[in-house]
Amino acid sequence: MNEPERERHFIERILELLRLLEDSGIDVDRLADGSVSHESFTAQQHDLRTALDIISFMDEIPGGFFIYYANGSEDIIYANRGVLRIFQCETMQQFRELTGNSFRGLVHPEDLDAVEESIWRQITASQYDLDYVEYRIRRRDGSIRFVEDYGHFVHSPAVGDVFYVFLGDATDERSQQQMEQKRLLAEALEKSNLAIQAKNTFLSNISHDMRTPLNAIFGYTSLAKLNLHDPDCARHYLEQAEIASHELLDMITQVLDMSTLSSAAGPAEDELDLCRMVEELCDFLLPQAQEKDILFSLDTSRIRHSRIYADQAKLRQLVLNLINNAITYTNDGGRVSVTLSEGDELPSSYAIYRIAVSDTGIGINEKSLESIFEPFTREKNSTLSGIHGIGLGLTIAKQIVDMLGGTIDVKSRVGEGSTFTVTLRMRIQPATIIPRDDTVAVKSSCRILLVDDNEINREIETELLERMGFIIDSAENGQVALDKVRRSAPGDYDLIIMDLQMPVMDGWRSSSEIRALPDPTLSHIPIIALSANAMVSDRRKSQQCGINVHLSKPMDLPQLLDEIDKLVKYR
């Protein structure tokens, strides 16, 4: 006999016994109440006695057991004493009244639809017509319990379609689960409230901090317009507006950096020269230090392997933020020193690198030190001292260090200075390094193809660059640029400055097409992207399209000149 047959046989046998008892005038319902005495049967009634014993045995099992029709009525045929106990009924009569004698009346109305749907879904999918459901029931005293229901569907030509069910009270287990769920929910709610709070603080800070330079831009531009008759005065106002514009740009960049960092994928593995990178950063920041008469030094003597693999953009930003702060928060005539050091080589060509940025600046008090890496943390004295900033630089630095799997520490004393130390484990490049194919044009005067769809931008950039002595040709989209390069003779263009988002053909596509030109003197023309797309993914795309440098708009002329200088050598 296979499993379903055995089941059918079992249930048919029970129903047969029940019928036998009923036909002999025995009130089966009263069996579960325990009010029928076995002794009342004589020896002649042997069959009946056996039936009675078997059915009574069903009352001894610890859990609930019941049978109901699987047709539309879902009437309950039989329930053992365990079921009565779960429902807190003393008699079968009470149970039938409480449930309306049907499975539908037994399940809590709010759970019924889901339970029925689940039972039929499982039965249809199950080889042995089994199902498992959990639902609430209401006991006779009105209290709610959770039960587990192991159901079996039996199709019997003899008795019709029925379900027989083993029922267990799982309330204690459930309430524990519910308590756990409640705790998790409360925790999630608290977290989301904190996130909302953080977002609100962020928005109010950012809108306040952005309005400040924006007001200055508006104010100084109006003043400049009113003073056009006095060029010195107008220039002064425009310079002030320019400073405020830079400040606003820095803020937007920082906010963008922070949001991209929190959503960014893992760090990149660029080949880079650590010492060279930090040297370049120091060169870049030197004028700022010189303006304040700060003695600025860089020590790379303890680096044995400068060529490493690391996320260049992130590492640059991290070091830049620290040096920038050191200069910002150091008074005129102070000292800022940057020290790189390398620990012993670890297995698999890794080594521990330390980057320490020390200054003799204003220092940070102990209390502020505790939350210095939190967003928008600004020491009061730095705000009062008129130093602008929004308090994201160190948050970004910390996020980068976390992303790179390192640590950042700070030691500081008010009035004496601060030292920020970053420790990172980085992989050393193998000794043989293939030189990069950076083609450099050699010219006496540099010819630039300027590609931008915006006429005003083209006009401003052309004028600024021509004043710097460059010879400018322009194109209004990527397609025109490509055609011009294709038709050009070698040497006609030493450099291309490429906007990215343009109609007809964008700057990325145009650059890829230029890189694919058969004539190497044309396909190797250096390209600088100058674009409003400042996201990391855009920079990556530029890299993939063979663009040498990706600068963001608005154009920072000294930075652009610096890059041109690196890419184009003059005779």
Residues that bind ligand ADP (CB under 6 A): 325-326, 329, 359, 361-364, 372, 377-379, 382, 389-395, 418
Closest to ligand ADP by CB, 361 vs 406, is 361
Q: How far is the CB of 355 from ligand ADP (least distance, A)?
A: 14
Closest to ligand ADP by CB, 82 vs 389, is 389
Three-state DSSP at 312 gives helix
Q: How far is the CB of 212 from ligand ADP (least distance, A)?
A: 13
Closest to ligand ADP by CB, 18 vs 326, is 326
Which phi and psi angles does 376 have, rounded to 5°?
65, 20
Q: How far is the CB of 242 from ligand ADP (least distance, A)?
A: 20
Closest to ligand ADP by CB, 299 vs 519, is 299
Closest to ligand ADP by CB, 399 vs 477, is 399
C-alpha span between 17 and 24 (Å, rounded):
11
Q: How far is the CB of 377 from ligand ADP (least distance, A)?
A: 5
C-alpha span between 351 and 527 (Å, rounded):
35
Q: How far is the CB of 211 from ligand ADP (least distance, A)?
A: 16
CB 277 within 8 A of CB 298: no
C-alpha span between 421 and 424 (Å, rounded):
10
Residue 466: enclosing H or E segment and its boundaries? Answer: helix 455-467
Sign of the C-alpha dihedral, residues 386, 389, 395, 401? negative
Closest to ligand ADP by CB, 72 vs 386, is 386
CB 412 within 8 A of CB 366: no
Q: How far is the CB of 213 from ligand ADP (least distance, A)?
A: 13
Q: How far is the CB of 322 from ligand ADP (least distance, A)?
A: 8
Beta strands in 387-491 (DSSP E): 407-413, 417-428, 441-443, 447-451, 471-475
C-alpha span between 34 and 29 (Å, rounded):
9
Closest to ligand ADP by CB, 391 vs 526, is 391
Residue 563: enclosing H or E segment and its boundaries? Answer: helix 557-567
Report residue 55 CA to chain centroid gap: 61
Place of tokens 């160190």: 394
C-alpha span between 353 and 426 (Å, rounded):
7
Closest to ligand ADP by CB, 395 vs 474, is 395
Is the N-terminal amide bond of 109 cis, ω within 30° of 0?
no
Structure tokens at 101: 């004698």
Closest to ligand ADP by CB, 396 vs 547, is 396
Q: How far is the CB of 284 from ligand ADP (least distance, A)?
A: 17
Q: How far is the CB of 371 from ligand ADP (least distance, A)?
A: 10
Q: How far is the CB of 402 from ligand ADP (least distance, A)?
A: 15
Beta strands in 274-375 (DSSP E): 295-302, 307-310, 335-346, 350-359
C-alpha span between 303 and 356 (Å, rounded):
13
Three-state DSSP at 489 gives coil
C-alpha span between 106 and 62 (Å, rounded):
20
Closest to ligand ADP by CB, 131 vs 247, is 247
Task: Decide the pairing of beta strands 441-443 and 568-570.
Answer: parallel
